Homo-oligomer: A and B are copies of this chain.
Amino acid sequence: MVDTSFYQNKGPFTLAQIAQITGSELQDPKASNELISNIDTLEKASSEDICFFYDKKAKDKAAAICSKAVVTTQDLASLIPEGVFVLIHSNPKIAFLKLNQAMYAEYEPSPSISPKASIHPSAKIGQNCFIGDFAVVEENVQIGNNCRIEAGTYIGRSCKIGNHCRIGANAYVAYCLMGDDCYIYTGARIGADGFGFDMIEGKHQRVPQVGRVIIGNDVEIGANTCIDRGALDDTVIGDGCRIDNLAQIAHNDKLGRGCIIVSQTGIAGSCTFGDYVVCGGQTGFADHLKIGSGAQIAAQSGVMRDVESGAVLLGSPAVPFKDFMRQVAFLQKNSKK
């Protein structure tokens, strides 16, 4: 049951409403007016709740469902205990997403600019924005409409932020052009200096970093993640990318559209990713690599060479998935002799 001190519950909804919201079919039309107050997990959902059952590997859990209703597939419906109302959907995950979006909402702050924020007079702030306490918005910043700049966030000189963006508390955004619908999480660091030095006369001399971070539309960047600005060229994050917490994206990296970068991944400088690349957690990439579209790199892999489109790699150094499994099996077998 979702905690209404934290979230709005816009329910209850009737099963008929839920069928419509989710695009499901209610098996028993007589149940149309039954009320559902909450979504809950398979295990916790009780007599006023709805749950979602679609994991074929968890068939044994079906018998214990004691929610009022369940959304499931045609194939799995026969497993649902009697007395539980069944809604059929070809993809219950999508139904879950839709009902979740319809039933719950965070408490959004009302559009307002805190008098405790520090906003340079030359900054241009769009309509319906929220700017929290102790946020700093520097000279010549442009912020679009319907943005939410949370408390304590720093937006550096001349940054451009699109519409419908959210910048989380205590984040840092500098040297950045950002599209629409982006969400930068609390503590993310966008646009700090890249790590560039030349050893000259026995001293690591800093190479000035004079590039930018270009962020597309509909991008999410996780908590405490760091994306360095380009050295001379730009660092680029393509439309629709999803970057998890505590990741490191170095200077001049270029990610295509829709890439998924799981937590604690590190990408050294000047790498170029195609579209829809997926990296598991704690993956590392050497610098100047080209990673083809659709490549999937498993967690903790270490990528030292270019990767072809669609490749599925694992290990450090990363090798094709099957090769890695063969290596693991070989080692397990032979080391026991």
A residues touching B (Cβ–Cβ < 8 Å)?
Answer: 2-3, 5-7, 39-41, 44, 93-94, 96-97, 100-101, 104-107, 114, 116, 118, 132-134, 136, 140, 150-152, 154, 157-158, 168-170, 172, 175, 183, 185-187, 189, 192-193, 195, 197-198, 200, 202-208, 210-212, 218, 220, 222-224, 226, 228, 232-233, 240, 242, 244-246, 248, 250, 258, 260, 262-264, 266, 268, 281-282, 284, 286, 299-300, 302, 316-317, 319, 323, 326-332, 334-336
Q: List the B residue with the shortest CB-CB distance to A261.
A: B195
Chain B residues near A187 (CB-CB < 8 A)? 170, 172, 187, 189, 224, 226
User: Closest Cβ of chain B: how far from A312's Cβ, in Å?
Assistant: 15
Q: Do B246 and A263 have beta carbons less than 8 Å apart? A: no
Q: Do B335 and A157 have beta carbons less than 8 Å apart? A: no
Known contacts A101-B208, A224-B189: A242-B197 contact under CB 8 Å: yes
Chain B residues near A118 (CB-CB < 8 A)? 114, 116, 133-134, 151
Known contacts A94-B200, A100-B207, A246-B246: A2-B232 contact under CB 8 Å: yes
Question: Which of A175, A250, A281, A329: most chain B Cβ within 10 A?
Answer: A281
Known contacts A232-B41, A245-B228, A323-B335: A220-B192 contact under CB 8 Å: no
Q: List the B residue with the shortest CB-CB distance to A317.
A: B328
Chain B residues near A244 (CB-CB < 8 A)? 195, 248
User: Closest Cβ of chain B: how far from A329's Cβ, in Å?
Assistant: 7
User: Closest Cβ of chain B: how far from A58's Cβ, in Å?
Assistant: 10
User: Closest Cβ of chain B: how far from A110's Cβ, in Å?
Assistant: 12
Q: Do B268 and A281 have beta carbons less than 8 Å apart? A: yes
A-B contact pairs, 6 of them (CB 8 A): A3-B212, A101-B208, A118-B134, A136-B151, A186-B192, A222-B226
Which of the residues B169, B208, B226, B281 comes within 8 Å of A224, measured between beta carbons?
B226
User: Closest Cβ of chain B: how far from A203's Cβ, in Å?
Assistant: 6
Q: Do B327 and A332 have beta carbons less than 8 Å apart? A: yes
Question: Which of A6, A101, A157, A187: most chain B Cβ within 10 A?
Answer: A6
Which of the residues B154, B226, B260 comes within 8 Å of A246, measured between beta carbons?
B226
Q: List the B residue with the shortest CB-CB distance to A170.
A: B170
Chain B residues near A282 (CB-CB < 8 A)? 266, 282, 284, 302
Question: Which of A44, A158, A210: most chain B Cβ within 10 A?
Answer: A210
User: Closest Cβ of chain B: how far from A291's Cβ, in Å?
Assistant: 16
A112 to B258, CA, bound (A): 43
Q: Do B6 and A195 have beta carbons less than 8 Å apart? A: no
Chain B residues near A186 (CB-CB < 8 A)? 154, 172, 189, 192
Q: Do B158 and A134 have beta carbons less than 8 Å apart? A: no
Q: Do B331 and A158 have beta carbons less than 8 Å apart? A: no
User: Closest Cβ of chain B: how far from A1's Cβ, in Å?
Assistant: 10
Q: Do A97 and B154 have beta carbons less than 8 Å apart? A: no
